[in-house]
Structure 1
Amino acid sequence: MTRFAIARFFESYSKWFAHRFRWTGQYLTLVHLLLAGLVILSASRLALVIWQWDRVSGAAIVVSTFVQGIRADLILLGYLLLVPLALAPLSAFRPVQKWWNSGTAWWASAALTFIVFMELATPQFIMQFDVRPNRLFVEYLSYPAEVFATLWNGFRLATLLSLFGTVVLGFVLNRVFVASSARATPWPAKRLLLSWPLVLLLVAFQIRSTTAHRPANPAMFALSGDALVNSLIINSPWSVLDAVYSLRKEANSSEIYGKFARDQVFAQVKAAPWLKTYQFTSSELPTLHRQTPVRQRARPLNLVIVLEESLGATFVESLGGVPVTPELEKLKQDGWWFDNLYATGTRSVRGIEAVVAGYPPTPARSVVKLSLAQQNFYTLALGLGKQGYHTEFVYGGEAHFDNMRSFFTGNGFQKVVDRRDMRPRFEGSWGASDEDLFDKSLERLQQLHTQGKPFFSLIFTSSNHEPFEFPDGKIALHEPNKQTVNNAVKYADYALGKFIRAAKKEAYWKDTLFLIVADHDNRVYGDSLVPIKKFHIPGLILGADMKQQNITTIASQIDLGPTLLSLMGVTSEHPMIGRDLALDSSTPGRALLQFDNYFAWVEDGAATILRPGQPALLGQYDAAKGDLRIGTAAPTPAQVDRAMAHVMLPSLLYREQRYRLPP
């Protein structure tokens, strides 16, 4: 009975639509695609606005959200109409007409199924990244095993409902389109061929959506100071397709902010107070310079960097967060503690390029994943390896994830130790637990110490990653439900404390510098254009002869490399533009932040925000409150120049392969 009712519905609806729009001739299915797409995308936007009503109403652009949203939807649907429309003249010929109708119906149903899938996937993506699906959605598709494990263990019900909804709606849409297209009343060949150029021109203007010099793009719909609200105006399919298209232009990614003279880039960067006293030693490698360490040592120290997954200031009580890192709070009494350290981005690979390579962020993907950076790209491992250090990367998961193995082995890391080299007592979706990771690290450090060579070990944790899996009985849970971020952080902190206590008992402790730092915060969200507060991370340097000291000036992850080399006693030549905080930790600093397509230069309580295709904005940032307020005043030319130079530099160095050491 149900099947009969559904079949009757399909029959009745297809008859009604074909009759009502019979005047459209062969374009019936394309009109159907356009109208159905507008309905689906508008309904999705309405649901998202209701869900995020406080944010949308607070931005005071409720009407514009829907009006401009329809404009964005028309652009997307215009792109989807182009392929069948380009082939429409074929339907003027009777033998081909049936095949064109059928193919167009299947194309339309596939296009709307894609739209449905992306819109159904949107809420979970927003919960994680506080914007609609973007380039991160595409990047994660490269690692189906890890992503599926995370979705299955952390978002099982939502994933199943989304997939089920997509399949069901895809089936329904296909039935409807096939049935209605079969009832299309074809135009005579002459009428079709004469109308086709006009329809094609109309759709082209629909895609362009403006008479301005440049066609409309997602950046044009940034109408508020809240990145989430801006993303709700556009639609998820267009956001993702635009991200895929932008991957082709990554070498020139920073040019989205405008033009800036090449010589001015280098002049502005080298004018930084911490760089202007250095001697730049190569005309071919513009940022290469010689750094003399503040601490002179007969034998330079070893280096261990513990890169903590998603351990933002959000979870550190002394930095204004939740009290779930008691071990880290104790350890900060043993070394240099950073009160105002900021990550450069929101992904692990962005943290890796900043901490390990001292490389500033760009709107492109991290250089960890880009082709021109897979060989001879400067990292601490490459530099230290040339000075006789043994260098290695230790990770509890699969080292191929995010292209880490390729990047590390091509750029100075002599050995990679990952899940395959461990016998973990507990294994989650992302690999061995942090305890198992640290046990293996202790084993490796002891072996390296026995060999008598200086060493550099990068240890990357993963227990604090959704779906937050860790062994039972290790900690007193912060919350009753075990699989929460706060409990996972508390376990990660427990494992870290256990590792440092064990390392302190070993002979290499007095000869080794340890850096504990986060790659980024857990979830980056907030009602600011750039949620600067969520870039705040903890950092601690301890070991060897380090004494307790608080570094209060604002600092960036790119400052850590030069600071470590100086404390280790390593005389070096490198291209890093970060600040040696061992030389000066009292004068004002700055932070560089990349959030989606926005770049922020933060200094002296001011944030200069670069936007693609739009003028820069000036905001006032209250670090104590984590509050960013965008004012009406524009940034000064000097502020814009500093921001432009520092976002253009890494793109330029990557494109020309100049971020390296001399042969």
Structure 2
Amino acid sequence: MGFFKTAPMRYLLLITGAWLLVFLLTRSVLLITHLNEVSGNLLSVFGVGLLYDLGFLAYAALPLGLYLLLCPPALWRRRGHRWFLQAVLTVSLFAMLFTSVAEWLFWDEFGVRFNFIAVDYLVYSDEVLNNLLESYPIGKLLSLLAMLALILSVALRKPFNAAMAAPLPALRGRLVNALGLLVLAGLSLQLVSQDSPRTQGGNAYNNELASNGPYQFFAAFRNNELDYTQFYKSLPTDVVAKQLRAELSEPNARFIDPDPLDIRRAITNPGTLRKPNIVLVTIESFSAKYMGSNGDARNLTPNLDALRQQSLYFNNFYATGTRTDRGLEAITLAVPPTPGRSIVKRIGRESGFASLGQQLSAIGYDSVFVYGGRGYFDNMNAFFSGNGYRVVDQSSVPESEISFKNAWGMADEDLFKQTLKLADADYAKQQPFLLQLMTTSNHRPYTYPDGRIDIKSGKGRDGAVKYTDYAIGQ
């Protein structure tokens, strides 16, 4: 009896074939909507993508395949078991559609397939779930997907019935088939590694399109780190060492160690010590492209544009990280993004650094990290408290002092009010302070108090940017 002609295998092929079709359609839609960003041989995207899809399916379908092949004939022929398999097909179709939509939304936000960011979001399920509920019509979307899954399940009744009517192999045949499935799954894991699409080189969009979202998700869950060379340019070590020392050389500084990679310096400053009060505002997901003074015509940032005219403005700054935690560690520790996990999220190894807060605390400052959300997110509380700061976050603020909040935290206005409260308290004690802020309003779902600006809350990032600017102006 042919391996693929038995009832269990025909049913399994029905489900995996549907998954393959969904993967193909997802890849095609992402490609069509990003044609201006891809290049080279597009057929390789689908060729490598097919290998990736098959590799994932051979592994993911293993539990169901073993169950089907080892299911006793008496149980297989029962009407209830047939209904059970029909339900499994319907749930699988729903999972396929849900995964496809989730991949689309994730790509729209991050420009990549599922990666370690998706894994991290599962850790902070409360914020992420509330963010999704506030950002998208989740109830309607899930209902639509469920309806489509039911329609497709009915449409597949003919091949389903044909699979159920196919002959069942004898016990020995089922055991041989199960062994064959195990071997196939093992070979697929050898054939397709986590980084296989990266071997195309060149265009990052091509590489991401060729990958498989669910496979990338489980690979990220296992490794939970960023592919450093994919996201960051690098130079030879000797070039980096020479450039670093050249940029850090100053008349009043000398390097302590002759090792060219050791950048520790002894600095002589005979001047009088100054202790200015410092408020350092870091804005979530903000970019210079939104500023009117940088050419944007939508008048989203009138207050920041006015402030720029009275400020020292660095117009050649570039982001070297892809997420907020990378920016926070760069600003706080003066280090660029490191391979793998950010320092902020290296649980158990995130403290003891010579941070800005630690340096100022050593000369009598009250160094405070003030966050609009809950600081356990991205391990921020542990990072800042372990590096010379005390932490004030949403959980530290009485509900009566929060006028508006969403999934990520309190509105920027409330954050700034808390900052002024902390500043007044330190000033009354004649203690210099560093108040390092992290805002939340400029983040999906882009909601903020009504009546502040002329763009309705929740209508997109433009409104969130303008509200953030408004709050700074206040």
The two structures have a TM-score, normalised by structure 1, of 0.60
Residue of structure 1 equivalent to 2:389: 413
Aligned pairs (5 A) from 1:71-82: 71-82=51-62
Alpha-carbon distance between aligned partners in 2 of 1:216 and 1:345, rounded to the nearest angstrom = 22
Equivalent residue, structure 2, for 1:458:
436
In structure 2, the residue matched to 1:310 is 285
Contact 1:463–1:469, Cα closer than 8 Å, also in 2: yes
Q: CA deviation at 1:128?
A: 1.8
Instruction: For structure 2, list consecutive stretches of 5 or more residues without a partner in the other structure.
Output: none
Q: Tell me the equivalent position of 1:659.
A: none
Cα distance in 2 between the residues matched to 1:464 and 1:192: 57
Is structure 2 residue 271 aligned with structure 1 residue 296? yes
Residue of structure 2 in register with 1:470 after alignment: 448
1:55 aligns with 2:36: yes
Query: What is aligned with 1:337?
Result: 313
Deviation of 1:472 after TM superposition, in Å, equals 3.2
CA contact (8 A) 2:320 2:337 kept: yes
For 1:221 and 1:117, how far apart are their aligned partners in 2? 29
CA distance in 2, matches of 1:328, 1:86: 62
Cα offset, 1:384, TM superposition: 2.3
Shift of 1:353: 1.0
Summarize deviations over 1:139-183 as a string: whole Å, max 9, x none. 222233322333233322xx3344224444666769979977754
Provide, for residues 579-605 of structure 1, a one-character-per-residue CA deviation record: whole Å limited to 9, x for no partner: xxxxxxxxxxxxxxxxxxxxxxxxxxx
1:462-501 to structure 2, matched below 5 A, reads: 462-475=440-453, 477=454, 483-498=459-474
Structure number with the higher helix fraction is 2
Matching residue of 2:327 = 351
Q: CA deviation at 1:216?
A: 6.2
Using the TM superposition, give the Cα deviation of residue 120 of structure 1 relative to its aligned residue in structure 2, in angstroms: 1.5
Equivalent residue in structure 2 for 1:327, among 285, 303, 308: 303
Matched with 1:137 is 118
What is the SS of the residue equivalent to 1:141?
A: helix
- Name the residue aligned to 2:128: 147
Answering whether residue 333 of structure 2 is matched by residue 360 of structure 1, we say: no
Contact residue 218 and residue 239 of structure 1 kept, 8 A:
no
Distance 1:88 1:467 in 2: 43
Letter in 1 for 2:311: G
Q: Distance in 1 between matches of 2:132 and 2:52?
A: 29
Amino acid at match of 1:142: V
In the alignment, what sits opposite 1:33?
15
- Per-residue CA distance 1:309-344 (angstroms, 9 max, x = gap): 122011113334354212222222333210111122
Q: Is the 8 A contact 2:456 2:463 kept in 1?
A: no
- Secondary structure of the 1:394 match is strand
Determine the C-alpha separation between the residues in 2 that align with 1:302 and 1:295.
21
Alignment of 1:126-525 (within 5 A): 126-156=107-137, 159-168=138-147, 183-194=165-176, 196-209=178-191, 215=193, 217-220=195-198, 222=200, 225=203, 227-247=204-224, 254=228, 268-269=240-241, 272=244, 273-275=246-248, 279=254, 287=262, 289-290=264-265, 292=267, 296-322=271-297, 323-418=299-394, 420-422=396-398, 423-475=401-453, 477=454, 483-498=459-474
For 2:247, what is the secondary structure of its paired residue?
Answer: coil
Do 2:361 and 2:367's aligned partners in 1 also have CA atoms closer than 8 Å? yes
Rounded to whole Å, the distance in 2 between the matches of 1:195 and 1:20 is: 10
On the 8 A contact 2:289/2:296 being kept in 1, the answer is yes
Higher relative CO (Cα under 8 Å, sequence separation at least 6) belongs to 1
Please give the per-residue CA displacement for 1:280-327, whole angstroms capped at 9, x wherever unaligned.
Answer: 55899x857245377933333333210011220111133343542122
- After TM superposition, the score normalised by the length of structure 2 is 0.81
RMSD: 4.0
SS of residue in 2 equivalent to 1:406: helix
Identical aligned pairs, as a percentage?
A: 28
Cα distance between partner residues in 2 of 1:42 and 1:416: 48
Aligned partner of 1:32: which letter?
L
Q: Residues 434 and 300 of structure 1: is their aligned pair in 2 closer, same or farther, counting only changes over 3 Å?
A: same
